[in-house]
Structure 1
Amino acid sequence: MGYYYGEIAYADTPPGFVTGEEEEKSLDTTEGRLEKFTFNEDITVYAALKKDKPKKQVCDGIYLHFAKDTLLICTGYLYNYQILVNTPLSSNSLEEAAIGGEILKHYREQGMDWVKDLNGQFSFVICDFTKRECYLGVDRTGIFNLYYAFAEGRMVFATDMKYILKHPAIEKKLNFKALQQMILFCSIASPETIVKGIKSVSGGTYVKILDNNTVEEVVYWDLIYPDKDGFTEKEITESKVIESKITEREYVEQFEEVFTKALLNKADDGGFNGVLLSGGLDSSIVAAHLRKLYPESDLYTFSLDYKFSGLSESLYQNMMVEALKSSHSVKDFGLEEFSQMLPGAVKGAEGPFCELGTCAYFLLYQLAAQQECDVFSGLGADELYAGYITYKADRFKKNNLLLSDADKKINSLLWGDEKFSYESPSYEEEMVWLEQLFTEDAYAEIGKKNCLFEPMFNRHAIGRELETINRRSYIDFKLRLMNHKNFQIASKMSRSYGIRTHYPFLDNRMIDFVCRLPRNMRLKGNTDKYIVREAAKTYIPPDIINRKKISLGDFTYSEVIGRLLKDYEKYFKYEFIKKNNLVSYDFINGIISKLNEPKSALDRFREKNIILTYLTLSIFMDIYKIQIY
């Protein structure tokens, strides 16, 4: 995948970037030198070039097209490029659509409506010098990243935050609102980033920026589930009454049909495909369908063998490899590998994280990079098909009349329902221990823009009467998937190794399909991902279909934290913590001293989030020289 960075000014503002030899040095990265393109006095773009390509086509899918005072910069690939052109294209469709001017043609004829129906993974920048407007956008689920900030009257943008951080006028300071989100929700909700003043473009949106640097965020797509009566707001408005008489078997057949289509226009029909194979249901059904589609072709599978106590999945991985007859590559992943990978994973993620799996993906993509093939992932199935334990737990929750008025207000503001809590039963209680965790100065900064008192999501999507399963799925989709797995793991890790990763569960057609599924086709009784399991029965060994879902966090909390405390001791010393004036040494040391004592699942979850977020944040601030205040 390619990289680009740019600066835009609509006035006689001096360039914000360093010049001359310093410029070349600052833009020389491990991914390759970023070369400079000056289109006019208003805009400069830096992009990774291949020397044997014309300047309009840039390395690994960065495409520039300039015509009639309008500039297009884009990267990625489309699966339904036919909607942009009237003639067949080669497999690298976005390239021809961009270079051939088709995207700009649609922009001039339709405005920004052209982006609404695109099915793919991409980011783009359109600079319209006649209208003096600029548009920055990404695909529906935000698999491709795009960041922007303002410095010295200029708007700077980049596919990677590290390029913006090189700008000498960018104030590299910690965003306390984002830090609070990470600790409470294990994710940072876009458009926030961990660096104050740098914003990310949210999945399904484009940002319109005027010449006075006024910003307008436009949601061109969102995950819209039906209201409680089973019809979407659009269908209600159009008075479309639909009586569903579809049988369970017919739903499974529809799943098979849509899933196959989602694979067909992504797979290499020459048979050079790979799968990130965990041994779980989601990656297994992806691999099994690829084998069914291409029975005689090469199939590569990549796995990690966890060496934490009680966690190895090699039994199930080997079971699938035998069934698939795939060329299999596997790497051990234990305490030593996790600890060694941590700085690289933080650098690749461009921010802190509290999920142990982030390092696992970092190592997995290292393994996959050894084969020159596209890879497939089962990412997205848990969030869309009720795959987490919390969906089952919701069925047993009663209306909690003991919620405080403050908690009800927060729940309503954040999640659209005063009785629905996410990741915590009481945010009032969370604020109590947050005050204990942070120093007085840090807690004061949180108080200036407390994330609990501002909406996070599109109120049109979440502020309606939704079934609990749909409400939780929407929030998981936005927080766990779009703003953690996709932004940090899937996109960044994949692209850093030059790997094109496909996510069939996130195909437009698959998402549209799941939005129309009855609840019991996702969660039936105590069976999660019900329709996926039913569809898998033809292709996958029963032991994999019926296996219990496990998580790295289930078995590894104490042993992993213990190893990290030893290997990254400097970040937990009194002198370091006192100097930074971010967290309380007594609070952190209290967690460490009681690491092996029995505690509730909620306390373990909270303490894991605190320690891993604090450590990865400290490493991130060291790497990118971020200041706290």
Structure 2
Amino acid sequence: MCGIGGVAFVDPRRWADQATIDRMMAALAHRGPDADGCARVAGAALGTRRLAIVDLETGDQPITNEDGAVFLVCNGEIYNAPELRAQLQRAGHRFRSRSDVEVIVHLYEDAGVECLTRLRGMFAIALWDARRRRLMLARDRFGIKPLVYAARPEGVWFASEAKAILAAGVAGGEADPRAIDDLFRFAFVAGPRTLFSNIRKLPPAHVALYEDGRLSLRRYWAMPEAGGRSGATAREWAEALRVKLEESVRLHLRSDVPVGAWLSPGVDSSAVASLAMRHLGRALPTVTLAFEDPSVDETRRFPTLDTYAGYETPNRRAWCGADSLALLPRAVWHMEEPTAWGVEIPRMLLAEAAAREVKVVLTGEGSDEIFGGYPHFRLERISRLVATLPLAVRRALLAPLVPAGRPMVSRLLLAPRALTAERYARLVGPMHADERFRLFSPDLRRRLDAAPEAEAWVLPPERMRSRHWFDRLRRCDLELRLPDLINHSLDRGAMAYGVEARVPFLDHELVEFVGRIPAGLNARGGMEKSILREALRGVVPDEIRRRRKAGMGVPYEAWMAGPLPAFAEDLLSERRLRDKGYFDPGAVQRLRREQREGRRRLGALLMAVLGVQLWDETFLHGSRAAAPS
């Protein structure tokens, strides 16, 4: 685990300035406090900051092959490295370390770009092939690890985080209007965009090749289509699923440093923690997020796994309260793009608590995306069931199901059933198009009119041809929400405190298996993720196994109702809104009044406004060198 960065030039004789690479690595110091490294050659440079997890003594990067023609820096973990190493050694390759990522350079020697298909893990890779004078950038299948780049006339700059590219002085300086629109459309910035107009995310499951001054991207993996009818019974599917999950948890426990887990009252993190303890034969340290506000704190209503007989394990509470909004400046610096729900703050509180005991934590993220556990799956299912009823009957039936403060959902449930990008945005986001434009300033609206539409891989048609609505909606979550909200906030929040977060539910072999399960087995009897719950019989207590999803209840409504910290009150003032030019000051003040008076639930929307203002203050008009204290 580390932070990586560097450059490949058009001119094969050009050398990168060492001071520039040093600045890039200094910007990533929080990701790798244990060591740093750099390889500079004619035409390219690769740098790294290391958080030592595997092979503590000899695992420093960059790593090379036997003759020094291939250089590699990698952020992440390759969980099947021992098996790959044995195969490569039998084929005659010689290893210089026990590092898990050293297998990549030898696989590349044998298979070129196709080596990526043999990796089982989470990774962001930069590889320089000196013979071909080619840079290869690659990102894991679900975007667990981040990788951004800036394509410029002199070459391609890349890094784990945009702030390293900003430190090189080659990009930044202006916001991307489409990215701001995405934030209010989806509640997060959808890739490949970032909030910086000239920096892009490498999409998950993609490889980028830079050779002879040309940059090309292609997908190297795709989620298999959901299975249809099958001869296997539900119980047989469940038993096979449990075996795959057990295998994934076992692989994710490979580490040379202590491992812990984040634990909520829900079934996903409980399953991961329970299986980990079974494999280890002992307890492991856990951290649970708790909220001071009892209305959003599920730990007061539902006991966590560690309180059940036979599952006892050390548990530390990370508390999130009314004063936690004060962490937002630090969170925005680390995240580099805000969300509408403020999830970045709880992520950082969890990581801060975990860092006192461990360097690695297992989490339950990814389960809701692959098993359809989110409320929008239930809403979509219901809307399809009632689609043939008269409009008046539909209104009467659906009204009680619309979440508070989400009037656009009622229109969604009554709308045609085609799953478009805007329909998905109405399912998951805080505002639809008309409301967004009324909030934006005239200048931002003009910039949006002039900006190009979203790139092709945001809900591309060829990725949406599945025969089953469940599979199409799952693909939306896997390609948008998972990498750009869940994994983005997970990685940045954990790495802010030098913690590696691992996600056993996102082992690609497990996900491929889940993709073959008939879609109808995921919500039997009206219970979401029913096939997973069946697989977990005897793994977690039945009370937890049957517990419906509650989710992380971030208290953004209470935060935005005030009183606000001084920085927030200042950034939301009419003067500062007008100065920065993204939002209509009158519209924002009107929404603030409605929210404070309890007329509308607008906390998520106002969190997004505050986040954009703070992002601008931090990266366009402030110091980027270090996180705010």
Tell whether the structures are fold-level matches, with TM greater than 0.5.
Answer: yes
Check conservation: 2:257, 2:360, Cα contact below 8 A.
no
For the structure 1 residues 547 and 573, does the alpha-carbon distance in structure 2 shift closer, same or farther, using more than 3 Å as the test?
same
Identity of aligned residues (%): 20
Q: How does 1:277-296 map to 2 (within 5 A)?
A: 277-295=263-281
Q: Cα distance, 1:465 vs. partner?
A: 3.8
TM-score between the two structures when normalised by the length of structure 1: 0.83
Structure 1 equivalent of residue 627 of structure 2: none
Structure 2 equivalent of residue 435 of structure 1: 437
Question: How many Å separate the matches in 2 of 1:608 and 1:345?
Answer: 18
Question: How many Å separate the matches in 2 of 1:353 and 1:438?
Answer: 17
Q: How does 1:26-41 map to 2 (within 5 A)?
A: 29=29, 32=33, 37-41=38-42
Check conservation: 2:359, 2:498, Cα contact below 8 A.
no
Give the alignment partner of residue 315 of structure 2, picking from 301, 304, 328: 328
SS of the residue corresponding to residue 373 of structure 2 reads coil
Structure 1 equivalent of residue 483 of structure 2: 482
Question: How many Å separate the matches in 1 of 2:244 and 2:341?
Answer: 31
Q: Cα distance, 1:619 vs. partner?
A: 1.8
TM-score between the two structures when normalised by the length of structure 2: 0.83
Number of equivalent positions: 584
Which amino acid counterpart does residue 315 of structure 2 have in structure 1? Answer: H
Check conservation: 1:18, 1:168, Cα contact below 8 A.
no
Check conservation: 1:56, 1:99, Cα contact below 8 A.
no
Structure 2 equivalent of residue 617 of structure 1: 612
Structure 1 equivalent of residue 523 of structure 2: 523
Which amino acid counterpart does residue 258 of structure 1 have in structure 2? Answer: K
What is the root-mean-square deviation in Å for CA atoms of aligned residues?
A: 3.6
Which amino acid counterpart does residue 3 of structure 1 have in structure 2? Answer: G
Which amino acid counterpart does residue 11 of structure 2 have in structure 1? Answer: A
For the structure 1 residues 620 and 57, does the alpha-carbon distance in structure 2 shift closer, same or farther, using more than 3 Å as the test?
farther
Give the alignment partner of residue 305 of structure 1, picking from 283, 287, 290: 290
Check conservation: 2:58, 2:98, Cα contact below 8 A.
no
Does residue 392 of structure 1 match 2:378?
yes
For the structure 1 residues 419 and 591, does the alpha-carbon distance in structure 2 shift closer, same or farther, using more than 3 Å as the test?
closer
Check conservation: 2:15, 2:42, Cα contact below 8 A.
no
Check conservation: 1:305, 1:314, Cα contact below 8 A.
yes
For the structure 1 residues 123 and 270, does the alpha-carbon distance in structure 2 shift closer, same or farther, using more than 3 Å as the test?
closer
Question: How many Å separate the matches in 2 of 1:244 and 1:94?
Answer: 47
Gaps of 5+ in 1: 232-242, 403-414
1:54-109 CA distances to partner (integer Å, 9 max, x unpaired)? Answer: 999665x66455846433222322122224542689xxx99647786x53343233
Question: How many Å separate the matches in 2 of 1:176 and 1:24?
Answer: 26
For the structure 1 residues 458 and 111, does the alpha-carbon distance in structure 2 shift closer, same or farther, using more than 3 Å as the test?
farther
Does residue 366 of structure 1 match 2:352?
yes
Which amino acid counterpart does residue 253 of structure 1 have in structure 2? Answer: E
For the structure 1 residues 96 and 588, does the alpha-carbon distance in structure 2 shift closer, same or farther, using more than 3 Å as the test?
same
Question: How many Å separate the matches in 1 of 2:194 and 2:208?
Answer: 16
Which amino acid counterpart does residue 312 of structure 1 have in structure 2? Answer: D
Q: Cα distance, 1:144 vs. partner?
A: 1.3
Question: How many Å separate the matches in 2 of 1:84 and 1:276?
Answer: 31
Q: Cα distance, 1:141 vs. partner?
A: 1.1
Question: How many Å separate the matches in 2 of 1:259 and 1:611?
Answer: 39
1:169-222 CA distances to partner (integer Å, 9 max, x unpaired)? Answer: 32421111111111101222222111111111111111112232x321110012
For the structure 1 residues 26 and 514, does the alpha-carbon distance in structure 2 shift closer, same or farther, using more than 3 Å as the test?
closer
Question: How many Å separate the matches in 2 of 1:16 and 1:218?
Answer: 27
Structure 1 equivalent of residue 170 of structure 2: 169
Q: Cα distance, 1:613 vs. partner?
A: 1.5
Q: Cα distance, 1:393 vs. partner?
A: 1.3
SS of the residue corresponding to residue 424 of structure 2 reads coil
Which amino acid counterpart does residue 361 of structure 2 have in structure 1? Answer: V
Structure 2 equivalent of residue 264 of structure 1: 250
Does residue 608 of structure 1 match 2:595?
no
1:27-66 CA distances to partner (integer Å, 9 max, x unpaired)? Answer: 6945559867453221223333699x9999665x664558
Question: How many Å separate the matches in 2 of 1:504 and 1:88?
Answer: 28
Give the alignment partner of residue 231 of structure 2, picking from 225, 229, 245: 245
Q: Cα distance, 1:452 vs. partner?
A: 6.1
Q: Cα distance, 1:433 vs. partner?
A: 2.3
Question: How many Å separate the matches in 1 of 2:328 and 2:603?
Answer: 15
Question: How many Å separate the matches in 2 of 1:610 and 1:22?
Answer: 38
Q: Cα distance, 1:356 vs. partner?
A: 2.8
Does residue 115 of structure 1 match 2:104?
no
Check conservation: 1:76, 1:122, Cα contact below 8 A.
yes
Check conservation: 2:28, 2:49, Cα contact below 8 A.
no
Structure 2 equivalent of residue 563 of structure 1: 562
Question: How many Å separate the matches in 2 of 1:270 and 1:15?
Answer: 36
Check conservation: 1:189, 1:456, Cα contact below 8 A.
yes
Question: How many Å separate the matches in 1 of 2:284 and 2:484?
Answer: 30
Question: How many Å separate the matches in 1 of 2:141 and 2:28?
Answer: 31
Check conservation: 2:148, 2:158, Cα contact below 8 A.
yes
For the structure 1 residues 556 and 270, does the alpha-carbon distance in structure 2 shift closer, same or farther, using more than 3 Å as the test?
closer
SS of the residue corresponding to residue 74 of structure 1 reads strand
Q: Cα distance, 1:147 vs. partner?
A: 1.4
Check conservation: 1:58, 1:64, Cα contact below 8 A.
no
Does residue 160 of structure 1 match 2:161?
yes
124-133 or 504-513: bigger deviation: 124-133
Question: How many Å separate the matches in 2 of 1:133 and 1:71?
Answer: 11
Which amino acid counterpart does residue 346 of structure 1 have in structure 2? Answer: V
Q: How does 1:464-483 map to 2 (within 5 A)?
A: 464-483=465-484
Q: Cα distance, 1:127 vs. partner?
A: 2.0
For the structure 1 residues 201 and 130, does the alpha-carbon distance in structure 2 shift closer, same or farther, using more than 3 Å as the test?
same
Which amino acid counterpart does residue 569 of structure 2 have in structure 1? Answer: E
SS of the residue corresponding to residue 369 of structure 2 reads helix
Which amino acid counterpart does residue 305 of structure 1 have in structure 2? Answer: A
Structure 1 equivalent of residue 142 of structure 2: 141
Question: How many Å separate the matches in 1 of 2:545 and 2:21?
Answer: 58
Question: How many Å separate the matches in 2 of 1:278 and 1:170?
Answer: 40
Give the alignment partner of residue 355 of structure 1, picking from 341, 345, 350: 341
Q: Cα distance, 1:387 vs. partner?
A: 0.7
Which amino acid counterpart does residue 320 of structure 2 have in structure 1? Answer: F
Question: How many Å separate the matches in 1 of 2:322 and 2:595?
Answer: 17
Question: How many Å separate the matches in 1 of 2:421 and 2:588?
Answer: 32
For the structure 1 residues 16 and 583, does the alpha-carbon distance in structure 2 shift closer, same or farther, using more than 3 Å as the test?
farther
Structure 2 equivalent of residue 574 of structure 1: 574
SS of the residue corresponding to residue 472 of structure 2 reads helix
Question: How many Å separate the matches in 1 of 2:533 and 2:485?
Answer: 25
Check conservation: 2:70, 2:128, Cα contact below 8 A.
yes
Q: How does 1:80-95 map to 2 (within 5 A)?
A: 80-81=80-81, 82-83=83-84, 85-86=86-87
Structure 1 equivalent of residue 402 of structure 2: none
